[in-house]
Structure 1
Amino acid sequence: MAKKWTTVEVLRHARHDWMNDLQLIKANLSLNRIERANEIIDEIIRSARNESNVMNLNTPELFEYLITFNWSKHPIDLKFQVDGKVRDLHTYEETLLNGCRLILSLLNSHASMKTENKIRLTIATDPLLLSFHFTGGLENREMMEDALEDFKKTHKTFSIIESYIRQDELFLSLTFVDEKHI
């Protein structure tokens, strides 16, 4: 079951994230690394736009899950974005949320604790796709392959349209099986 965040907890985590970003900018400016400080500012702007785009999909539970994911202990760092025109996806929210939870849970289970692990989730809106691009380390590639095979067999809502797994990278692109509803 998903954690229910209080307003105070949300504000505490958001403030902490902002303070980290501001400290990075300030540190780079104090070292006269103006270009790096500007890159960090650009990253913050991109992140805020991505958050806004996901929020505007009208999928509040999915938005909450994605925005709070990095606030809990995970061996992976999540970034997300929306590709395509932002549109109302509230009808598909439960399916999108379950797909994200399942795949991110699999990656959490198989990600190495010895490496820096990152995942980029892309939500494409036309056609509706979820793409997961993981970089880092996988503890057991064969077990991850088996887990994805089980996912294919047991989760008939999604179809895997593209995937590959390497020791330090995984890519997975899912679409709805019955896309005429979209």
Structure 2
Amino acid sequence: MEYHEVMTLLGYTRHEWMNRLQLLHSYSKLGKDEKVQEKIEESIRLADEERKLSNLNIPETLIWVLSFNWTYTQFRIKFQVDDSIPKIWEYDKKIREKLEAVVDALSDSAQEMELYEGLLHIRTREGEPIIELTFSGAFTGWDNLQMIGQKDDVLEVKIESLPEKKSRCTIVLTCN
């Protein structure tokens, strides 16, 4: 990663944290103590998830995840990392490439003015590390989504119908 890319990432991260602080400040001034407490707890959870992701020692994937919301304008992602994930550092580049390929395929099935909310969850299944990527929104082109499941590193693709012509697409990837 080049220095200017690091500076850009730091700038985006700082901007997000400043937005959170300004929101806390506003709620505090309005006397909305419950909202202040809720946002503080949310910020602590986010910082803890960032720490757990960082501790996996997968820098390419870490940077990809942290910059995701600025890179993919139609998608917003949250992430969760379970405790006790086996070492996956040696697969870092491969993990990032898999995630990029999946999101590119999802982008091909995205509607132009739709915002897709998602969760990236790094966890274990039967003792093996996996990545579960879930997005909800109004997808088109079911064939693109089904074709994702034909890739070797994809363990599962599940598509569920939701109200208002929306769907939830869950893709489970191997880490190795």
TM range (shorter): 0.7 to 0.9
SS in structure 1 at match of 2:85: coil
Q: Deviations over 1:1-27 (max 9, x none)?
A: x99853321222122111111111111
Give 1:172's aligned residue: 170
For structure 1, the 5+ residue unaligned runs are none
Q: Deviations over 1:79-128 (max 9, x none)?
A: 11112413321122233212211222223333334444210110113322
149, 158, 171: which one aligns with 1:163: 158
Q: 1:33 to 1:130 in 2, by over 3 A?
A: same
SS in structure 2 at match of 1:6: helix
Which structure is higher in RCO with an 8 Å CA cutoff and minimum separation 6? Answer: 2
Partners of 1:84 and 1:171 lie apart in 2 by 25
SS in structure 2 at match of 1:20: helix
The answer to whether the 8 A contact 1:28-1:37 is kept is yes
Partners of 1:112 and 1:24 lie apart in 2 by 31
> Percent sequence identity over matched residues?
24
Give 1:97's aligned residue: 96
Give 2:132's aligned residue: 131
Partners of 1:25 and 1:112 lie apart in 2 by 34
The answer to whether the 8 A contact 1:135-1:170 is kept is yes
Q: Offset at 1:158?
A: 2.5
Partners of 2:66 and 2:49 lie apart in 1 by 10
The answer to whether the 8 A contact 2:108-2:144 is kept is no
The answer to whether the 8 A contact 2:60-2:92 is kept is yes
Q: How does the TM-score come out when normalised to structure 2? A: 0.83
Q: 1:11 to 1:175 in 2, by over 3 A?
A: closer
Give 2:23's aligned residue: 24
The answer to whether the 8 A contact 2:109-2:145 is kept is no
Partners of 2:12 and 2:24 lie apart in 1 by 19
Q: 1:124 to 1:4 in 2, by over 3 A?
A: farther
Partners of 1:4 and 1:105 lie apart in 2 by 26
Give 1:61's aligned residue: 60
For structure 2, the 5+ residue unaligned runs are none
Instruction: Count how many residue pairs are aligned between Structure 1 and Structure 2.
Output: 171
Q: How does the TM-score come out when normalised to structure 1? A: 0.81
Amino acid at match of 2:33: I
SS in structure 2 at match of 1:88: coil
Alignment RMSD, CA only?
2.4
Give 2:149's aligned residue: 152
